Amino acid sequence: MTETPEEEPPVFRVTTGILILIYAALVAVSLFASFRLAPFDARGGFENFSKVAGVLVAAVSALMAAIVTIINFDRNVRDAQNLARLNGDISQKLADYKAELDRKLLDDKVGADFKLERLKTAFSKEIEAYLELMTAANTAYYILAKLESGKWVATDKGKVDKVMEKASNKAAVAVEADAELWTKLWNRANFIAESAEDLKAPTEQPALWQAEAGKLSQLMQDFQRVLAEKLHQEA
């Protein structure tokens, strides 16, 4: 917003007009005094009048010039003071604006840093959850893989259930679609373990593994792909 310049104080306008009137009056007085001191009827009166009038008018002009100089000096001082005050006000406003801007920028930076840290923390917890889910799935897979060599024993089902159930609470942190994928993986592993319990002889275990391993492996690969994408996002 542009500030309207201050008008010249009325005192200067009035003083200038008064000075003109005073000057005119003094000149008139000087001429009258010159006429009284050197009247025209005297010998060489006009010449004497001219000399006296010249001296008096010159004296009046010098006096008025001195007065005008003093008034102009006072006016210049006032103008300089007003300019200095205006510059001071502008500098203060600029300083206040800069301080306010710096404060807002600092607040924004602190807020952004805080949000970033919260995001990093949340994302790190999510990655940790995905890693635990993947680790549990790998452990269950290797336990179930004992079927391929016919070395599956009754206690192995309990091991699969324990490791998967322990990691299942981490699925709540995962994205819904990823949690559903891991649940499918868990259900497939549980199905294979329950099927192994129903086998009557260890020699039947390899056939069960050959029939189910492909489906379980595909679910494992899908979840590994999801985990890789999450790790890539964090990097």
**Which residue do the tokens 């005192």 mark?**
11
If one compares 173 and 158, the residue with the highest pLDDT of the two is: 158
**Is the pTM for the entire model greater than 0.95?**
no
8 Å CB contact between 182 and 215: no
The per-residue pLDDT for range 58-94, each reduced to its tens digit, is 887 887 777 778 777 777 888 888 888 888 888 888 8
Question: What is the reported pLDDT for 46?
Answer: 64
The per-residue pLDDT for range 139-154, each reduced to its tens digit, is 999 999 999 999 999 8
**DSSP character string of 6-67:** PPPPHHHHHHHHHHHHHHHHHHHHHHHHHHHHS-TTSTTHHHHHHHHHHHHHHHHHHHHHHH
Evaluate if residue 173 carries a pLDDT over 70.
yes
* 115-136 average pLDDT score: 73
**What integer best gives the mean pLDDT of the chain?**
79
8 Å CB contact between 39 and 45: yes
Residue 225 pLDDT level (bands cut at 50, 70, 90)? very high
- Distance of alpha carbon 202 from alpha carbon 36, whole angstroms: 154
Please report how many Cα atoms fall inside a 13 Å half-sphere around the Cα of residue 57, on the Cβ side.
13
8 Å CB contact between 174 and 133: yes
The per-residue pLDDT for range 15-66, each reduced to its tens digit, is 666 767 777 777 777 677 766 666 655 565 566 667 666 777 788 788 777 7
8: left (phi over 0), alpha (psi -120 to 50) or beta: beta
Residue 173 sits at φ, ψ, to 5 deg, of -80, -25
* 153-157 average pLDDT score: 92
Question: What is the reported pLDDT for 70?
Answer: 78
